[in-house]
């Protein structure tokens, strides 16, 4: 199955069933020209919104989240998986934002991994400003270990802005809307047990540590908002330091980051070099059992050995992108002098992983900051 993002209106809203569900936490999500839906879950003082990855696919563009009563906040993307098999994102809203967000993430025992029974009932709640809602009713029509495939029960259809909406079945979370297939008029839903496996621990792990204020990630004196988002994500999710606005009095310290230099190059891929050695061994007539490097190839003749090694080499890059970053991280406690650390770190990309270059580089930046900031935190620079 290859799900595609919802791209058009699939039907007029005919005889909508309007309801009001006080416990629901659906939200409207806008990023640039993209408009979708999501669902907010409480995590400590923060709200994390689950939605489809393609709803917030832009890098460095503000994300606006609005609840049913008009409460609005600007959030940041802290998890993004744009793959066709998952298509999932998490948006973090500022602490104590006005957006309604009270539901808790379900316990592991409440997340059912079983496939839906044929014709099992499902529903999507579509919300409107002022608290009005309408239900789109669906039924199970197949699926996989990743997806529920749903069919419509009546003339009411999923629309573009429903992408990312929470889907329920028998009162439990079943997944989120990801796409509608035009060919057979079916809805693809990323299953909630898959979502839980990917991000559930983020909700069940309590936020620890003390709040910090991030002054931003700068290069040549200018703040890069996209880089700042990724650094803030590491602080809140990995370091357990809630990020608050700079003027927030609860901040234990202020953190500033300067990217002094970012050198990009390429290095030889050791996996490719292993395969080259194996190919030379094949050419020299060395038996498969005698080929070094732990390669396991069927067959013993020279031609078969060469053919199979070359086949493996097709999917292995000869060189890998490498990054050398020099960062200066400064932590300024409330009642002490600032502490700075200048450090150069090197990262070689994993050739087995795909992904857009921009996303990969942001991950590298996050890893570099984590090394430097981790050492400062360990030394008590922010206490």
Q: Is the pLDDT of residue 332 over 60?
A: yes
* DSSP summary character for residue 301: S
pLDDT tens-place string over residues 33-67: 899 999 999 887 778 999 999 999 887 788 999 98
Give the residue from 69, 82, 41, 73 showing the smallest Cα distance to 360: 82
Percent above pLDDT 90 for the chain: 26
Q: What is the mean pLDDT of residues 174-195?
A: 90
Q: Is 266 helix (H, G, I), strand (E, B) or coil?
A: strand
The distance of Cα 22 from the centroid of its chain, to the nearest Å, equals 28
Q: With 90 as the cut, is the pLDDT of residue 257 above it?
A: yes
Bridge-based pairing state of the strands 253-268 and 212-219: parallel
Identify the weakest region by mean pLDDT among 81-85, 324-328, 357-361. Answer: 357-361
Q: What is the dihedral of CA 221, 364, 199, 131, to 10 degrees?
A: 30
Residue 165 clears pLDDT 80, i.e. is over it: yes
* Parallel, antiparallel or unpaired: strands 212-219 and 243-244: parallel
CA distance 23 to 172: 13
Is residue 311 packed enough to be buried (19+ CB in 10 Å), middle (13-18) or exposed (0-12)? exposed
Helix axes 357-378, 225-233, angle to 10 degrees: 50
pLDDT of 13 over the 50 cut: no
Unique residue bearing structure tokens 């070689």:
348
Structure tokens at 166: 């929470």
Q: What is the pLDDT of residue 129?
A: 66
Token digits for 302? 């020279």
- pLDDT of residue 17 exceeding 50: no
Longest dimension (CA), the chain: 77
For residue 131, the model assigns a pLDDT of 66
pLDDT reported for residue 18: 36
Looking at 71-80, 173-182, 295-304, which range is the least confident one?
Answer: 295-304
Where residue 288 falls among pLDDT bands split at 50, 70, 90? very low
Q: Which residue has the higher pLDDT, 289 or 216?
A: 216
Going by pLDDT thresholds of 50, 70 and 90, the confidence category of residue 122 is very high
* The pLDDT value given to residue 259: 95
CA distance 303 to 287: 11
Number of residues written out for the chain: 383
Residue 222, beta-bridge partner list? 219
Q: For residues 30 and 151, is the Cβ–Cβ distance under 8 A?
A: no
Q: DSSP assignment of 178-225, as one string? A: EEEETTTTEEEEEEHHHHHHHHHHHHHSPP-S--EEEEEEEETTEE-H
Residue 341 has pLDDT above 90, yes or no: yes
- State which of 23-27, 181-185, 191-195 shows the largest mean pLDDT: 191-195
| β strands within the chain, DSSP E | 18-19, 26-31, 34-43, 46-51, 63-67, 72-81, 88-93, 121-127, 133-143, 147-152, 166-169, 172-181, 186-191, 212-219, 222-223, 243-244, 253-268, 319-333, 339-348
By the 10 Å C-beta count (0-12 exposed, 13-18 middle, 19+ buried), 352 is classed as exposed
pLDDT given at position 339? 93
Per-residue pLDDT tens digits for 205-254: 655 667 899 999 999 989 988 788 888 878 877 787 888 888 888 888 99
According to the model, what pLDDT value does residue 138 have?
Answer: 93
pTM above the 0.75 mark? no
3-class DSSP assignment, residue 281: helix
d(CA 239, CA 258): 19
Q: Which residues contact 156 (CB under 8 A, 6 or more apart)?
A: 11, 13, 14, 15, 16, 17, 134, 136, 137
């Amino acid at each position: 199955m290859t799900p595609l993002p919802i791209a058009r209106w699939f039907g007029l809203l005919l005889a909508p069933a309007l309801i009001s569900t006080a416990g629901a936490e659906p939200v409207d999500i806008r990023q640039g020209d993209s408009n979708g839906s999501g669902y907010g879950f409480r995590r400590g003082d923060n709200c994390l919104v689950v939605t489809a990855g393609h709803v917030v696919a832009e890098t460095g563009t503000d994300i606006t989240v609005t609840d049913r009563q008009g409460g609005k906040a600007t959030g940041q993307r802290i998890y993004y998986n744009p793959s066709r098999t998952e298509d999932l994102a998490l948006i973090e809203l500022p602490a104590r934002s006005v957006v309604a967000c009270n539901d808790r993430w379900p316990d592991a025992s409440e997340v059912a991994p079983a496939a839906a029974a044929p014709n099992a009932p499902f529903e999507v709640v579509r919300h409107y400003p002022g608290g009005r809602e309408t239900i789109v009713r669906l039924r199970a029509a197949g699926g996989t270990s990743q997806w529920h495939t749903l069919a419509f029960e009546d003339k009411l259809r999923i629309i573009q802005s429903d992408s990312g909406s929470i889907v329920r079945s028998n009162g439990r979370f079943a997944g989120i809307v990801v796409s509608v297939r035009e060919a057979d008029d079916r809805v693809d839903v990323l299953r909630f047990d898959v979502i839980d496996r990917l991000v559930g621990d983020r909700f069940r792990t309590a936020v620890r540590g003390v709040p910090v204020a991030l002054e931003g990630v700068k290069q040549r004196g200018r703040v890069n908002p996209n880089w700042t988002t990724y650094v803030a994500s590491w602080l809140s999710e990995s370091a357990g330091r809630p990020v608050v606005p700079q003027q927030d009095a609860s901040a234990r310290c202020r953190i500033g980051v300067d990217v002094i230099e970012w050198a990009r190059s390429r290095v030889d891929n050791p996996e490719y070099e292993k395969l080259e050695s194996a190919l030379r061994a094949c050419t020299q007539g060395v038996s498969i059992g005698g080929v070094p490097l732990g390669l396991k190839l069927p067959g013993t003749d020279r031609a078969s050995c060469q053919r199979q090694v070359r086949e493996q080499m097709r999917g292995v890059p000869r060189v890998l992108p490498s990054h050398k970053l020099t960062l200066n991280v400064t932590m300024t406690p409330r009642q002490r002098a600032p502490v700075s650390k200048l450090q150069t770190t090197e990262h070689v990309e994993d050739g087995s992983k795909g992904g857009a270059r921009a996303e990969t580089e942001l991950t590298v930046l996050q890893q570099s900051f984590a090394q430097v900031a981790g050492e400062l935190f360990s030394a008590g620079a922010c206490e």
